[in-house]
Amino acid sequence: MNPTSAYKSLETRYRRMNLVRDAIAVLDWDGAAMMPDGGAQTRAEQLATLKLIVHEQAVDPAFADLFAAAGDGKGLDGWQEANLREMRRDWVHATALPADLVEARSRAVSACEMRWRQARKDNDFAGLLPLMQKVLDLTREVAAIKAEKLGRTTYDALLDEYEPGGASAEIDAIFADLASFLPDFTQAVLDRQARAPVPVPLDGPFPAAAQKKLAEELMRAVGFDFDHGRLDTSHHPFCGGVPDDVRLTTRWDEKDFAKGLMGVLHETGHAMYERGLPQEWRHQPVGFARGMSAHESQSLLVEMQAARSPEFLSFLAPKAAAAFGRSGVAWSADNFRRIYHRVKRGLIRVDADEVTYPAHVILRYRLERALIEGRMQLADLPGAWNEGMRELIGVVPPDDRDGCLQDIHWPGGSWGYFPTYTLGAMTAAQLFDAAKRAIPSIPSALSRGDFAPLMGWLRENVHSLGSSVSTRELLVKATGRALDAGVFKAHLKARYLDS
């Protein structure tokens, strides 16, 4: 078989596998947003079976021969060559694991995730511990096998699933820099806030139906196409589904509409990235998003960089007033800016402001590394979590519900994911800075609720590239430099100390 024929056969096989993965994604969304509790056991069986089918396809011995025949991609165009590289990467991850481990971990994750939903409600870490321990034990097995196969550390082998080529040594340096910068900076911001007028509270209640209507209006302003997606409610906000059928979820608080609204804008950023991926490379690895730091950059760019900009808040304030039938000084643009730029030492990551948010991520990153590397026992997680919160943020959770039980990631099997949030925040700041330099009219457009100039720039410089280049190459192409923490720090200083 010649290299071109071998490549075409690989394309066909990957299309079939990724269509099954699409079905898994929609079933996952349904389990979180629509499925009755009684369907959990059957759903776990369905997901385990589909994941096993994908794994069996991925480890077909024919792949080794096809990759050997395809060689280095000689005769392929640039996109095909990049696709061959990404297929090989996916194949190496897939073939590292035996089928029985893939199935066992899938079952353990499904059971643990469903138990987590009740455990969080009941503040019951002890009740979750046996199921979560099983997930951790199996994840350690996965990490050990992949580390040997990839020639990486156990943690980096897991990180590579979310951040291709990412290395904990580099993250350690970045996070150490932020950890040294944030405490004094946070205190300086809090001191400045103490001297400024206190925001006028927005009095509720804010009916969930009215919140959803406003959220959907803002989704349309960002550019979300409801012919290719929907918004629902779940325990934890997320973006699921597939690029042509994007499923968003959030949760509503009738005392504070900002939580649900900003959650929706965050997930809409994810959705816009998925929708903007190259149509002609659907179901091929090169057509996928370029890792989770890139993905998180898109959600945080919309939520933090654009939607919390003074320009967009001047658009949002009267829209929100009309949505809830309110008026007065509380609903002015200046008051919205004070509200949405408010910094507070809080307990919940998803509700954190962009100044304290990185500290939440640094904590989770340190804890999950310690757990994966066996330097900490899972039973000690609540105490270690509380101590880390005291050290990094200056608050201590009163219970595990608002402590180590607040995130779905570990019960859901996503170990190695957390650092991508802050890497994404830094990337978002750098991309937004570059976009505004390229198109100076972006801020004035946001003041009219017009995201088109910003989204057009992102489509051209980020979304349309898929996985055709590395994360570093993507950022250099878009901004002229690799990831630079100085841009993120400059953004924080400009917004919270200099404005």
Q: What is the residue extent of each domain of the chain?
A: 3-95, 169-496
Tokens of 444: 């004035």
Give the gyration radius of the chain's Cα atoms. 23
Please tell me the distance from the alpha carbon of residue 303 to that of residue 235, in angstroms, as a whole number: 20
> Residue 258 is which amino acid?
A
Model confidence at 488: pLDDT above 90: yes
Residue 74, pLDDT score: 85
All residues at 6 or more sequence positions from 192 whose CB lies less than 8 Å from its CB, including other chains:
496, 497
Model confidence at 229: pLDDT above 90: yes
Cis geometry, peptide bond prior to residue 237 (ω within 30 degrees of 0): no
165 vs 14, 91, 287, CA distance in Å? 22, 15, 18
What number does CATH give the domain 169-496?
A: 1.10.1370.30
Residue 164, pLDDT score: 92
Q: Which residue has the higher pLDDT, 10 or 98?
A: 10
Residue 350, pLDDT score: 83
> Residue 458 is which amino acid?
L
Please tell me the distance from the alpha carbon of residue 225 to that of residue 154, in angstroms, as a whole number: 40
Share of the chain above pLDDT 90, in %: 88
- Short-list 414, 438, 412, 432, CA closest to 488: 432
CB 448 within 8 A of CB 172: no
Residue with tokens 């269509």: 19
Model confidence at 59: pLDDT above 90: no
Instruction: Find the helix or strand (DSSP H, E) in which 246 lies.
Output: strand 245-250
Residue 242, pLDDT score: 96
Model confidence at 351: pLDDT above 90: no
pLDDT bin (cut points 50, 70, 90) of residue 236 is confident
Q: Helix, strand, or coil here: 267?
A: helix
pLDDT bin (cut points 50, 70, 90) of residue 127 is very high
Would you name the residues annotated as active-site residues? 267
pLDDT bin (cut points 50, 70, 90) of residue 24 is very high
Residue 49, pLDDT score: 93
Residue 184, pLDDT score: 92
Residues in the chain: 499
Q: What values do phi and psi take at 255, rounded to 5?
A: -95, -20
Model confidence at 237: pLDDT above 90: no
pLDDT digits (tens, 9 = 90+) for 158-184: 999 999 989 999 899 999 999 999 989
Q: In terms of DSSP bridges, do strands 245-250 and 229-233 run parallel, antiparallel, or are they unpaired?
A: parallel
pLDDT digits (tens, 9 = 90+) for 424-469: 999 999 999 999 999 999 999 999 999 999 999 999 999 999 999 9
- Short-list 482, 434, 485, 481, CA closest to 460: 434
The whole-model pTM stands at 0.88
Q: What is the mean pLDDT of residues 270-294?
A: 97
Residue 169, pLDDT score: 92
CB 477 within 8 A of CB 469: yes
Residue with tokens 């969080």: 120
Please tell me the distance from the alpha carbon of residue 364 to that of residue 414, in angstroms, as a whole number: 12
pLDDT bin (cut points 50, 70, 90) of residue 499 is confident
Residue 282, pLDDT score: 96
Whole-number average pLDDT of the chain: 95
Please tell me the distance from the alpha carbon of residue 376 to that of residue 379, in angstroms, as a whole number: 9
Q: What is the mean pLDDT of residues 325-341?
A: 95
CB 410 within 8 A of CB 132: yes
Model confidence at 80: pLDDT above 90: yes
Model confidence at 378: pLDDT above 90: yes
Least confidently predicted of 47-56, 243-252, 412-421: 47-56
Tokens of 331: 């609903």
Q: What values do phi and psi take at 270, rounded to 5?
A: -60, -45
Please tell me the distance from the alpha carbon of residue 90 to that of residue 128, in angstroms, as a whole number: 32
> Residue 174 is which amino acid?
I
